[in-house]
Amino acid sequence: MSGNSDREPLPPRVDLATAAVLLAIGLGVMALAWRMPSFVEQSGTGLTAPGIVPGFHATVLAVLSVLLGLRAIRRGALKAGAPQSRAWSGEDARQLGTAALLGVLYAGVLVGRVPFWMATSLFVFAFTAAFEWPAGPVGRVRRLVEAAVLALATGGLVTLVFERIFLVRLP
């Protein structure tokens, strides 16, 4: 579960910016927790106040983010020549943007508005076509036809398997 721990460490400036955002979240949640009612009349003690636990978590988060920020500063985040974070390559950004956009369009817009099999088929076709388009004009038509077949099969099979066999309600 170490996830990405094997990758190169981030520049300290990124950690400093992250710490600032986390500190803002921690302080914001502390303020919201403080404003929650204490229900002293009901409980008699106020110890079951809804804000206690999130307030505790937010305080720890704020302290940890300060530590992260201080560590980033000690590692040179404020020095003039501190290394900058490497931006994603243009190709990476394009691929990520495409995947994220299509995902949000599908799950956030299409699903629930058009029949599920149709939404799924449209999404799978668009996704596959978008990522296989840059492979060049040779064989493009075949790839698009395959994408369409895959899309229809996915839409139909997912609907069939979940709704008919496993009796799971679909959006």
Partner 1 sequence: MNNPITMLGDGFAHVLQGGAIFHALWAVLIDIIVGALPGLTATMGVALLTTLTFTMGPQVAMLVLVCVYVGAIYGGSRSAILLNIPGTPASAASTLDGFPLAKQGLAGRAMGISTLGSWCGTLFGTLILAMFAPSFGEFALQFGSYEMFWVALFGIVIAGSLSGGDPLKGYIAGFLGLLVATIGQETNHAYPRFAFGNPDLAGGLGLLPVLVGVFGVSEVLNAMRGPAVRAVSSKIDSVIPRIRDVTQYWRTILRSGALGTFIGAMPGLGEDIAAWTSYAAAKRASKEKELYGKGSVEGLMAAETGESACVPGAIIPVLTLAVPGSAPAAVLMAAMMIHGLNPGPMLAITAPEFIYQIVAMLVIADMVKLVYGLILVKPLLWVLLIPRSRLMPIVFTLCTVGAFAITSRLFDIWVMLGAGLVGFILRELRFPMAPLVLGIVLGDLLDKNLLRGLVLTGGDISPFFTRPISMALCVLTLLAVAWAIPGFVPRVMGVFRRRPA
Of 164, 78, 158, give the one whose Cα is nearest residue 123.
158
37 binds partner 1 (CB under 8 A): yes
Give the footprint of partner 1 on residues 59-78 (CB under 8 A): 60-61, 64-65, 67-68, 71
C-alpha span between 3 and 158 (Å, rounded): 30
48 binds partner 1 (CB under 8 A): yes
167 binds partner 1 (CB under 8 A): yes
120 binds partner 1 (CB under 8 A): yes
109 binds partner 1 (CB under 8 A): no
Torsion (CA) 160, 163, 164, 167 in degrees, nearest 10: 150
Question: Binding partner 1 by CB under 8 A: which of 111, 144, 148, 152?
Answer: 111
- 10 Å CB burial of residue 75 (0-12, 13-18, 19+) is middle
106 binds partner 1 (CB under 8 A): yes
